[in-house]
Structure 1
């Protein structure tokens, strides 16, 4: 989707889109969900919206696209007001300089790949020859020049995704929105397309917002990750920052860390869920303590050694995670802890749900930051 431009888009896809600079304060009511999100995305930046089902990701995307009106707040793109309830401003979806890549791509089945990419340009008044020339240049850019005459039913999932991306970018939008663009792909295809998508989004020159459930998609593709829970932003930062210092249990689970909230006093943290933790550096006041499940070891007998965090608990659950087994360990007066062990260790320790075990991990394995 994109509004009609005063001049036809160039046939050269290497020419950058005009500045995006999305500035949005979104307030939307949708059923039980009350969304309130402050979203600033400068030109050239890719932002991923990450969160559980029902967090408000798709609602935010629909508001940006013009498919939902704001209850309050404002939305501007490149300095142009698109939605502002206080002034009665609302620009319909078809007149916004916005491109959208949907989860199921929504390619026209009766049109070839070239015709699909050219469609948006033709709808905006670009002549047939110029539109086909620009579409051909975009297909070449995404590596599909040889599939220009092929219809969607003959394309692989990865090829269809790239055609949809080319169609969204061909009109040179200021903003491109992507709704779970890799969800329909198999694991092998996803790996290749993910890297290509990241490159194309960084090269196109405008702002980009990606909605995803997959933390790996967000980490690889986005420059910045915004985590939504129950319609609110709970974390906003660079991928490395989010991965190293999660702010909620949901984020910690996504990036594979234990996360405990407590109050520090010197080298000890009193955990809100019970018990105390020994940490490497003195702390004071409310803190979050993160540590990887790989640093937690399980024993049948009380362990000897230098680890200062040791307590007795029981296996609550065991689940396969790639080449390791993740154990959930609960204990009265202590927080639930995740531990990653090898299948061989499961057999050697005769681990099963309900089995009594000792947990241990070192103070130096913890990362402590303000809560």
Structure 2
């Protein structure tokens, strides 16, 4: 908040353009935020970080910029049924325009995307694999390094939706090896309206711009233009300067605690939430059970027999002041696969405590009593 306030109060100016002191200060702060993002995910070069409005725009950038020029009739795009809508819809657009085919990987009986099935779908027709790192509904985590090495064998690119992993655990893009990775500031304790794309520099350099305008050009002639090098090529117009600086400060905040520490704490808290929720009668939790070997994110999507999730969320909020989400969580395909229309979801971050989980469980039991006694 203070970082945003300082920017607008003391050096509100455009980046990369003005020669004057305020512009220079804004540019320094903006580019420093880019370096913070790069260091945070261990990118090889800060030029591999492109600021976007959110992770959704970052995925669209890859779909339009890379997808439209590299995909043709008969090519295949592999996704899982557990992808967020923002990772599905842009590829549907691309598929409709290019004739490329979307192929979906289903779930195992543990309700985790089936990696063996994914491997079986890979072929020379596969051009890109679009997968989440951690599911926002199932809480499950995918073995990205394994997916990348299998995809690379058939010459396919990999795009990782890391919205649910970057804020909660150490993420090293060089270790993961994916070609593209996206995340969103507002899930990282940062401002809304900004996110980022990480892309391997040589791939970004080969891509056409996504939006045209100032900042993304080298030279403009009457009938054509030459384009700037990445990241400028993909940052047309005035960016969300204050928000990017705010994201940089949020990264400082997360780094102060240390992502490994946050991850360890959330593992314990997430298991506590899962175990506590299991003790509630007639509750069905989706996704894998937490185990020593497999990581489960600190969230639980669940349903209670004969009670609508929206009613649960509403009463919990009104009577107990507890905020959970209900609906399809931007994952309708996944909900259909699970045979349900909607679910309730309790999500935790490192600022939550066991006491808050207890309060949620207490409120949930009272809410279920209230709703079932009124039927």
- The TM-score with structure 1 as length reference comes to 0.28
Bigger fraction of residues in helix: 2
Which structure dedicates a bigger proportion of its chain to strand? 1
> TM-score with structure 2 length normalisation?
0.27
Structure 1 or 2, whichever has the larger Rg, is 1
